[in-house]
Amino acid sequence: MPKPTTKLTWCKARLGEDMNWWVHEISDPIHWDIDGLGIIDPRQFQHIIELLEPLSDYGLQNELVDDAFYSFGIDTIEKDKTVLLKRVQDSVLESEDPLFALPDVLDEEKGPYADFVDHITKLRVKMLNDLIDFSQNLTVEELEEEIREAQNADFMEGRASHFFTELTAILEYVPEGFELDEEEEDAKPKSEDEKLEKDLAEVETDTDVDERIEEDETMKWDEEEEEDDDFNETTAPPEEADKDDSKS
């Protein structure tokens, strides 16, 4: 179901040090508090879709997934490395274009995103009880308590909790001491290095990835390779160096 455009027509996002995207500016600052407001990038949302697939057998409602997010497409790359995202009416599930997904959290308690989180939490618990032989059934309250504890720990350490982290924590949750033998390997959390591998490499824009993402510690291998090339060009091969020594 298309969401009304109203005042939410664009937002600017910046890539944080945690390699998640955070809203830097928004067209409707009256209704949206951008302090700690995360936005899910296309590759992250694709990973979420993959994690949702097993829940289809347990009653996943795609309309709840679609209603929970506002869709945004990349418009321009700003000089300060922020990305201007324009609102689109495409379904974040059905669109063939890579889209950013902003959770609809205008009503944190009863809004579309809250309904979506409640829905997938119940389905995850239902699936775990079906696949794992617990001494007594896992409850929604137990899963929610662990998620809250993790979020509270982030808050106490001064870190904002990102929506991608929240959703993957639910969709990948398995109680300590248990495991799911039937989970596919590619549905497991990606390693940190894989997530850092140019998050928007698949997003088609006129700007190269290096221009979109500020350089950090993970990108120093390029400098090291350039230094090696410069060293090889300015250093004489061993044979020529020996000839020079004999002449002297």
As a three-state string, the secondary structure of 47-103 is HHHHHHHHHHHHCCCHHHHHHCEEEEEEEEECCCCCEEEEEECCCCCCCCCCCEEEE
Q: Can you give the pLDDT at residue 84?
A: 97
- Confidence tier at 159 by pLDDT (50, 70, 90): confident
- Residue 28 CA to residue 181 CA, distance in Å, equals 46
Phi, psi of 169 (to 5 degrees): -60, -40
CA torsion sign for 95, 123, 125, 131 is negative
For residue range 175-208, what is the model confidence (pLDDT) as tens digits?
Answer: 988 888 754 434 443 434 444 345 455 444 444 4
Q: Say which residue the tokens 């829905």 belong to.
A: 119
Contact 116/101 with Cβ under 8 angstroms?
A: no
Q: Which two tokens stand for residue 130?
A: 């079906």
Q: By percentage, how much of the chain surpasses pLDDT 90?
A: 53
- Confidence tier at 3 by pLDDT (50, 70, 90): low
Q: Which two tokens stand for residue 57?
A: 């057998």
Strand order in the sheet with 10-15: 38-39, 21-26, 10-15, 83-88, 69-77, 100-103
Predicted TM-score of the model (pTM): 0.71
The average pLDDT across 64-86 equals 94
- Residue 36 CA to residue 24 CA, distance in Å, equals 9
Q: Which two tokens stand for residue 243?
A: 């000839």
Q: Can you give the pLDDT at residue 186?
A: 43
Phi, psi of 21 (to 5 degrees): -95, 135
Average pLDDT over all residues of the chain: 79
The average pLDDT across 103-108 equals 91
DSSP 5-30: -TT--EEEEEE-TTS-EEEEEES-TT
- Residue type at position 231: F
- Residue 121 CA to residue 119 CA, distance in Å, equals 5
Contact partners, residue 212, CB within 8 Å, separation at least 6: 15, 77, 81, 83, 200, 205
Secondary structure letter of residue 34 according to DSSP: -
- Confidence tier at 12 by pLDDT (50, 70, 90): very high
